Amino acid sequence: MMLDLVPLLFFLPLLSFPVVLFFGRWLPLKGAGLTIAVMAGCFAWSLALLAAALLGAVELPYSFSISWFSFDIYDVALGVYLDGLTVTMLCVVTLVSLLVQIYSLGYMQGDSRFSRYYSYMTLFTASMLGLVLADNMLVLFACWELVGLCSYLLIGFWFEKPEAAQASRKAFITTKLGDLGFAIGLYVIFTHTGTFSIPSLQEMARAGFFAPGVALWSSLLLFCGAMGKSAQVPLFVWLPDAMEGPTPVSALIHAATMVAAGVFMVAKLFFLFEINPTALIVVGFIGAATAFLAALMGLVPEDIKRVLAYSTVSQLGYMMAGLAVGGPQVGSFHLVTHAMFKALLFLGAGSVIHAMHTNDIWKMGALSVRMPITFVTFAIGVLALSGIFPLSGFYSKDEILHAALNSGNWPVTILLFSTSALTAFYMTRVLVLVFLGSARDRERYGHSHESPASMTAPLVILAALSVVMGFLMHGEHVWGKLVPHKLEHEHGHVPAILVALLSSVVALSGMAAAFGVYFYRWIDAAKVKERFDVIWLFLYDRMGFDRFWLAWVKLSYKLADALAWLDYHALDQGLVDGQGSLTRQLSRASEWIDRYIIDNLVDLWGWISLWAGSRVRVTVSGFVQSYLLYVILGISLIFAARMYF
Amino acid sequence: MSFETLVTSSLPILSLITFLPLIGALVILIVDQTKVKTIQKIGLAFSGSALLVSAIALIYFDPSRQFQFVEDYAWIPALSVRYLMGADGLSMPFVVLTTLLTFVSLIASLSIENRVKEYWFWFLLLETGMLGVFESLDFFLFYVFWEITLVPMYFLIGVWGGPKKEYAATKFFLYTLFGSVFMLLSIIGLYFASTPHTLNMLELTAQRNELLKMGMTFQVLVFLGFYLAFAIKVPLFPFHTWLPLAHVEAPTAVSVILAGVLLKMGGYGLMRVNLPMFPEATKLFIFPLVVISFINIVYGALCALAQKDMKRMVAYSSVNHMGYVGLGLASLTATGFNGAVFQMVNHGIITGSLFLLVGVIYDRAHTRDIDAFGGLGAKTPMFAGIMTLACMASLGLPGLAGFVSEFLCFLGAFGPWKIWTGLSVAGILVTAGFFLRMIQKVFLGPLNEKWAGLTDMNAREYAAVLPLAALTVILGVYPRWGLDLMNDTLTALAAFVKSGV
């Protein structure tokens, strides 16, 4: 019963989408009431599922499907596949969605397209839940694209702003680029196996059906999709720009759920990735590089949301690297904890932006006095993200670092530890500049105020979860039970306590350094910036990645213009119409020949016969004598001829 | 007698569908030309009846059986020409697509005020021609219907079109005629090659091994004769240049039919004639077809990206989408065939609505320049919403009609043609690029004050577009309705084609 109706988790939010879109204005809270109620129901249900799974009341994995459509001899199913990871993700998605929707009541109040906002939100949540539930690669891909659409619509929600319109298109196209790889990966898998069903594929992988080459190709192609969606280097460029959307959207889509879909996909299809070790090495390096490079880029922005965006990119890289070195259990635990504290940080930032009407951290300062709830919860988020004991980030990061050390993959390990320090540094920088010190913009500061309860309540809940979640869920009995799969390394026996100490030291030193620079001002940040402005600009410029892709875009426009020119001038006007005019010239020539030669020839004959007639006419005189003469002449001619021949 | 037997065996149901519009056209001829309303009512009534009868036929159509609703009469015994009509899972989708799109286009044509009588006459005659092409199974009959479509189209573009209408109409006419002349030669060739002489398409298909005895040169020439006619219609590179011009000049409703139905006659012909009838030539030309499809996809998309005129852009997007169809055909697999036919149907629905929507804005603004607008999303939200839906469907968003068919085309082609399919996928990205660029330039950003007085869609426009938008969603969410109709026939066809090459 509880399991049979699981598809409703997808269908209820989906059905509320058109209802709110078209009839929202007549509904309570302009439709928000409906979507929030639906989401609350979905969350309660997911939580019950999680509890049941942990208590062993339901048997997992559970799968159930109906036929969607068929072609040739194949059948594509529409179904759900529930395992521990899926159930946890259901809770994460519904919880964050619920809290963000409640938060948005205050944040989006008075917006002229309020109902539409909620309808998009509920469509997004439905698609995301569909993605999580799907038991089938094609359905997963379909939902994957749909969340991309919602992301597009919500980034560009305030489409009157040209930057928002531009950012939405950039996000769509960039992720689509990755999705091309995803699509080809699906073709490879289907051509090879004849099925999209994830449980069947899992069986096949277990039975050794996949040759290492096929496994490598298909997993790397699928990973292209994950690189786009989860903003890995070099496809991360869209995520910082996506911050043009409303802040609650950033919290839900671009921090907690959609961007984690790539990580989730790799975790779900890990059986495919682990067949060929090369695939995991690639995933590990790209993940670690993403984590490190994005953390560097996160050091410089003055826009609070951009810092959080780079931090998200960096943490997504962390998760990917965690998957590669430790398996689903390690990588996806960070996904869950990160969803909580990153959503918290974004909502906190939204609260600040709501109060200050600016994103610029240099115009803030000392807000801890004005906004105590936001301050405390944000600080908890910062500590959790930095990985300070005993907050949730500590547990999940610790697992990843431990696995990295055990794997003996030194480049990845070093990159991850450095990222840890950088993360603590840039997050503390934001915390200090926004909430501590002195108010740098007195006027804005004067108007600032704590946000309404609808906004602070979600902050408090998320902060509480960020504190306790790691402690409650880590370990063999909870998380290990939900996601049992973990990579074991033969040689790695680094003691856990050592890793914990090391990571804490690294994180604390990062925080301390940031306090030194931005709070105590032992070093003047402005001077450092001036001194190393080349590096600063390089980081600010996203290390040239943006310009790299832009060059490709420009190239394609040039190519398009050239081809269109060719198509019109060479092919159409040149060849086709050229052929046409050639035919016309030919017909003109033949017309001339016809008129002046052929026709004149005809006339010539007439003329000749006329002329001949006029000559011959003289013989027809009408006199009988002359006719008699002709007869005699003729007869004598015949006789003469007879005599000679 | 039950209604079912009436439909399936007693009534000449296909002739009824085909000639109802013709009767309507003839009735319109005797109506006084000033009685515009009467003419429109008659036209809608007859086209609507054709739609209704085709819907009934669809209900009683059994996808698991071969040709149904067959009508077979001797027509010109001396040439063994027969009046032979029938529908299978390949033709049925197109019959319904034709009746539906024509009806919708006629609703959109209610705004035509100039020479109404002639317009409606030609439009209904066109419908008869198109329906006949998809139903006739005798080459003589097929050719007659094929050529019938040409004349109304010529006048519809040439009289009611845009500034360069005469040029466009003449070019369309000559280009298509050029192709069909070679088709006629091929048909005559087939007639003399068969023993006993026949023009029956089914018999000729069954005799394909006898035809092989005529030698490779014969195979190739006859194949190319048909190919030329069909490739021009599809259109496949490099025979596509008449299309953007014809679309830009044609009135809205005619563009809908042109993209929605006329192009499909080419794809239908390739599947009905070229692939099953000439196995050796198919083997020879299948690789070129893959390359041409790739060019259609990528080149078409890039050309669309460069366009400033919305209609030209949509026209080039058709070139791009027909490339997917080509790829599906060239796969010679049931998967690819399913994708190709379904893609043709979906393209008809989606591109039909795109042309209707471009017409909506052109009627108001008298320009189609993408750069001339800006920020209309706030001013005309319904129009913006439906346009975005159609664009998303066209770029293959899941949940909308284009996704499954496009996916099946690629999936089918990937098995035999890995590299080319992999390269063709790039077209999807460019497609997304030009549609999103148009959406951004027209609907997003600050409102261009010049268009502050623009009104949203009116009732007539809704009546034309909403059925198509609804179908876009329905076929996207539940593709089974489309695929189940054609799958059996196409699986058998693919097996038949495959057994020859």
Q: Using the beta-carbon criterion (under 8 Å), do A187 and B430 form an inter-chain contact? A: no
- Chain A: residue nearest B406 by CA? A183
Phi/psi at B112 (nearest 5 deg)?
A: -70, 125
Q: Using the beta-carbon criterion (under 8 Å), do A160 and B447 form an inter-chain contact? A: yes
Does the pLDDT at position A558 exceed 90?
A: yes
pLDDT band at A562 (very low <50, low <70, confident <90, very high): very high
Chain A contact present for B215, CB below 8 A: no
Chain B contact present for A564, CB below 8 A: yes
Q: Give the type of residue at A539.
A: L
d(CA B113, CA A32): 47
**Positive/negative CA dihedral, B157, B162, B165, B167:** negative
Chain A contact present for B397, CB below 8 A: yes
Does the pLDDT at position A596 exceed 90?
A: no
Residues of B in contact with A168 (CB under 8 A): 444
Model pLDDT, residue A25: 87
Give the number of other Cβ atoms within 10 Å of residue A517's Cβ: 18
| The two structure tokens encoding residue A90 | 């259901």
Model pLDDT, residue A21: 92
Half-sphere exposure of B452 (CA within 13 A, CB side): 3
Does the pLDDT at position A490 exceed 80?
A: no
- Chain B: residue nearest A175 by CA? B429
Does the pLDDT at position A625 exceed 80?
A: yes
Model pLDDT, residue A420: 94
> What's the mean pLDDT when you consider all of chain A?
91
Model pLDDT, residue A16: 94
Q: Are A391 and A467 in contact (CB under 8 A)?
A: yes
pLDDT band at A35 (very low <50, low <70, confident <90, very high): very high
Model pLDDT, residue B1: 63
Does the pLDDT at position A455 exceed 80?
A: yes
| The two structure tokens encoding residue A73 | 């001899």
Cross-chain CB nearest to B338 (options A72, A568, A575):
A72
Model pLDDT, residue A132: 95
Does the pLDDT at position A486 exceed 80?
A: yes
Chain A to chain B Cβ contacts (< 8 Å): 140
Model pLDDT, residue A445: 87
Task: Determine how β-strand A62-71 pairs with β-strand A74-82.
Answer: antiparallel
Q: Using the beta-carbon criterion (under 8 Å), do B335 and A74 form an inter-chain contact? A: yes
Q: Using the beta-carbon criterion (under 8 Å), do A564 and B302 form an inter-chain contact? A: yes
A45-51 average pLDDT score? 93
What DSSP string runs through A195-229? --BHHHHHHHHHTT-S-HHHHHHHHHHHHHHHHHH
Model pLDDT, residue A528: 84
Burial class of residue A607, CB neighbours in 10 A (0-12, 13-18, 19+) = exposed
Give the number of other Cβ atoms within 10 Å of residue A645's Cβ: 5
The residue among A66, A72, A137, A172 with the most chain B CBs within 10 A of its CB, best to mutate, is A72
Distances (CA, A) of B50 to A199, B13, B19, B29, B292: 47, 10, 8, 19, 36
| pLDDT tens-digit map of B459-501 | 999 999 999 999 999 999 999 999 999 999 999 999 999 888 8
d(CA A75, CA A78): 10
| pLDDT tens-digit map of B339-367 | 999 999 999 999 999 999 999 999 999 99
Contacts of B113 (CB under 8 A, 6+ apart): B36
Cross-chain CB nearest to A160 (options B238, B241, B446):
B446
| pLDDT tens-digit map of A365-386 | 889 888 999 999 999 999 999 9
Q: Are B17 and B40 in contact (CB under 8 A)?
A: no
Q: Using the beta-carbon criterion (under 8 Å), do B425 and A180 form an inter-chain contact? A: yes
Residues of B in contact with A186 (CB under 8 A): 411
Q: Using the beta-carbon criterion (under 8 Å), do A191 and B334 form an inter-chain contact? A: no
Chain B contact present for A162, CB below 8 A: yes
Higher-confidence residue of A401 and A595: namely A401
What pTM does this model have? 0.92
Chain A (533-552) residues lying within 8 Å, Cβ to Cβ, of chain B: none
Model pLDDT, residue A439: 86
Higher-confidence residue of A446 and A141: namely A141
The residue among B307, B312, B436, B486 with the most chain A CBs within 10 A of its CB, best to mutate, is B436
d(CA A507, CA A424): 5
Q: Using the beta-carbon criterion (under 8 Å), do A165 and B445 form an inter-chain contact? A: yes
> What's the mean pLDDT when you consider all of chain B?
92
Angle formed by the axes of helices B116-135 and B13-29, nearest 10°? 160
| The two structure tokens encoding residue A466 | 């960020």
Does the pLDDT at position A628 exceed 90?
A: no
Q: Give the type of residue at A362.
A: W
Does the pLDDT at position A1 exceed 70?
A: no
Model pLDDT, residue B251: 93
Per-residue pLDDT of chain B (501 residues; tens, 9 = 90+): 678 887 777 789 999 999 999 999 999 999 988 888 999 999 999 999 999 999 999 999 999 988 999 999 999 988 889 999 999 999 999 999 999 999 999 999 998 888 999 999 999 999 999 999 999 999 999 999 999 999 999 999 999 988 889 999 999 999 899 999 999 999 999 998 888 888 999 989 988 888 888 888 999 999 999 999 999 999 998 899 899 999 999 999 999 999 999 999 999 999 999 999 999 999 999 999 999 999 999 999 999 999 999 999 999 999 999 999 999 999 999 999 999 999 999 999 999 999 999 999 999 999 999 999 988 988 899 999 999 999 999 999 999 999 999 999 999 999 999 999 999 999 999 999 999 999 999 999 999 888 888 899 999 999 999 999 999 999 999 999 999 999 999 999 999 998 888
Q: Using the beta-carbon criterion (under 8 Å), do A180 and B428 form an inter-chain contact? A: yes
d(CA A309, CA B67): 60
Residues of A in contact with B333 (CB under 8 A): 72
Half-sphere exposure of B348 (CA within 13 A, CB side): 28
Percent of chain A with pLDDT strictly greater than 90: 63
